[in-house]
């Protein structure tokens, strides 16, 4: 029987954000589209996402469909399944200031302004150990243009794509498909520790699978950029 992830999912909702293209006129902002997901790694508004999500937002900007890049959070202080509608606080970020690694498909960005204390965000913690096949994991994100977070639960199928230099695998496989737009979501254990970032969903023969970037590579990436 799968562990009960209900409490963990509610906790992880404090860590995830939708990455959106927005328009703004004076003090009024509007969400035009949700392009992917990010999750906080620091209380100052620093977050991690998949690099290809940012590339997609840049393409939208070039086509004049993405005036501003931002994430938003409910003014009520947290995501609630009981709230069909909510007012949002928008936080701009500049893609050209993000740290990006296309090779492992990871990026680090930061909000232009500090987050309001009412949001009570929770930066994630990582577990860099390789998880045994069959370990139950979940991911939470903003797929399919939904403006509220959705979650899915599955199991670790295994690790693939070993580094040529012997530094371990470059991808983790989950036996649950990731919806379009879930890219950048945290893949986590029942403890809430993040083991991967959802990078892509399997297609063709690999359909029904989600492929993630292991936390070890994310931690290495964050460590390299912390010194800059």
CA 64 centroid distance within chain: 24
Q: What is the pTM of this model?
A: 0.92
For residue 163, what pLDDT is reported?
64
- pLDDT < 70 regions, the chain: 1-3, 81-84, 163-167, 201-208, 227-228
For residue 214, what pLDDT is reported?
96
Domain layout of the chain by residue ranges: 7-119, 124-226
Which string of b and e fits 89-126 if b means at least 16 CB within 10 Å?
A: bbbebebeebbbbeebbbbbbbbeeebeeebebbebeb
pLDDT in tens, 24-81: 887 788 999 999 999 999 999 999 999 999 999 999 999 999 999 999 999 877 787 6
What is the fold of 7-119? Thrombin, subunit H (2.40.10)
For residue 167, what pLDDT is reported?
67
Closest CA to 174 of 214, 204, 145, 147: 214
CA dihedral 227, 16, 111, 218 (to 10 degrees): 20
Structure token digits, residue 198: 């959802």
What is the fold of 124-226? Thrombin, subunit H (2.40.10)
For residue 146, what pLDDT is reported?
85
7-119 with 124-226: one CATH topology? yes
Residue with the two structure tokens 């998880």: 131
For residue 137, what pLDDT is reported?
96
Name the DSSP letter for residue 163.
-
């Amino acid at each position: 029987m799968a562990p009960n992830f209900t409490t963990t999912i509610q906790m992880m909702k404090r860590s995830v954000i939708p990455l959106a293209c927005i328009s703004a006129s004076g003090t009024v902002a509007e969400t035009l589209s949700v392009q992917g997901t990010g999750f906080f790694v620091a209380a100052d508004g620093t977050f991690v996402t998949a690099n290809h999500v940012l590339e997609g937002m840049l393409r939208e900007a070039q086509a004049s469909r993405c005036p501003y890049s931002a994430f938003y959070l409910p003014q009520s202080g947290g995501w609630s399944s009981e709230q069909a509608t909510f007012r949002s606080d928008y936080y701009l970020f500049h893609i050209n200031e993000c740290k990006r690694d296309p090779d492992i498909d990871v990026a680090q960005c930061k909000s232009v302004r500090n987050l309001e204390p009412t949001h009570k965000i929770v930066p994630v913690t990582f577990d860099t150990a390789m998880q045994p096949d069959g370990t139950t994991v979940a991911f939470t994100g903003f797929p399919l243009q939904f403006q509220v977070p959705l979650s899915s639960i599955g199991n670790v199928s295994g690790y693939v794509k070993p580094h040529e230099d012997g530094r371990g695998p470059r991808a983790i496989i989950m036996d649950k498909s990731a919806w379009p737009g879930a890219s950048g979501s945290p893949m986590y254990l029942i403890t809430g520790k993040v083991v991967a970032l959802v990078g892509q969903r399997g297609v063709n023969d690999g359909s029904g699978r989600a492929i993630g970037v292991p936390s070890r590579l994310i931690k290495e990436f964050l460590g390299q950029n912390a010194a800059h």
